[in-house]
Amino acid sequence: MSESDSEDGVGTITAVDGSHAKVLAALHATSFPPEECWSANVIALQLGAPGAFGLADSRGGMILCRSTGDEGEVLTLAVDPMRRREGIGTDLMNAAMTHAAGSGVARMFLEVSVENTTAIGLYRRMGFETVGGRRRYYADGTDALVMRADLHPG
Ligand SMILES: CC(C)(COP(=O)(O)OP(=O)(O)OC[C@H]1O[C@@H](n2cnc3c(N)ncnc32)[C@H](O)[C@@H]1OP(=O)(O)O)[C@@H](O)C(=O)NCCC(=O)NCCS
């Protein structure tokens, strides 16, 4: 992993790129059903796209995002099932939103399953509000909420 971007005394959050795709894919596979998890190739492609960035937490977590102009999007967030409810997801979201705000992003969007109450709760605490929905967005036919947060430079 590359140079440390931030440290909270427990985990270290670092920037990741396509060279970490295999490790990230293995972590992603622990957190999503087979039809929703991303291969190393998909992750490398995502991270290679213009405006994309990824962060990993040394305790076992990852977030991938993309920004275009002043809009950003959380592409995926995953925490090792053995390390959940320790604040890793919150730390990764905070780091990603800080990084995005520093790159000029004013609004961040994401999609989340209507059934994923843990993630919805986390996103609400981070300032995200529901602004729309997508019917049958996921492979199993589940609907998604579209959520948005306004970011504040600095
Ligand atoms: C959603 C996800 C990323 C959250 O990761 P996490 O590291 O567990 O998140 P946090 O620890 O920051 O917060 C989760 C919960 O733990 C609680 N928590 C945080 N630190 C805690 C601590 N020290 N002790 C007890 N609880 C704690 C939070 O308050 C929160 O509570 P809630 O479940 O009642 O809302 C994780 O569950 C995951 O990977 N899920 C599968 C993939 C997924 O759904 N990704 C999102 C798709 S959009």
Could you tell me the distance, in angstroms and rounded to a whole number, from the CA of residue 118 to the centre of ligand 1?
Answer: 6
pLDDT bracket for residue 9 (50, 70, 90)? low
55 vs 64: CA distance, rounded Å? 7
pLDDT of residue 4: 44
Question: Could you identify the atom of ligand 1 that is nearest to the CA of residue 112?
Answer: 48
87 vs 133: CA distance, rounded Å? 27
Tell me: pLDDT of 93 over 90.
Answer: yes
Average pLDDT of the segment spanning 136-150: 95
Question: Which homologous superfamily does the CATH classification assign to the domain defined by 4-150?
Answer: Gcn5-related N-acetyltransferase (GNAT) (3.40.630.30)
Nearest CA to ligand 1 atom 10: 87
Question: Could you identify the atom of ligand 1 that is nearest to the CA of residue 88?
Answer: 7
pLDDT of residue 31: 97
What are the boundaries of each domain within the chain? Answer: 4-150
Name the residue with higher pLDDT: 109 or 10.
109
Could you tell me the distance, in angstroms and rounded to a whole number, from the CA of residue 140 to the centre of ligand 1?
Answer: 23
pLDDT bracket for residue 11 (50, 70, 90)? confident
118 vs 98: CA distance, rounded Å? 22
Q: Where are the beta strands (DSSP E) in the chain?
A: 4-7, 12-16, 52-57, 61-68, 71-79, 107-113, 129-134, 144-150
Nearest CA to ligand 1 atom 34: 118
Tell me: pLDDT of 120 over 60.
Answer: yes
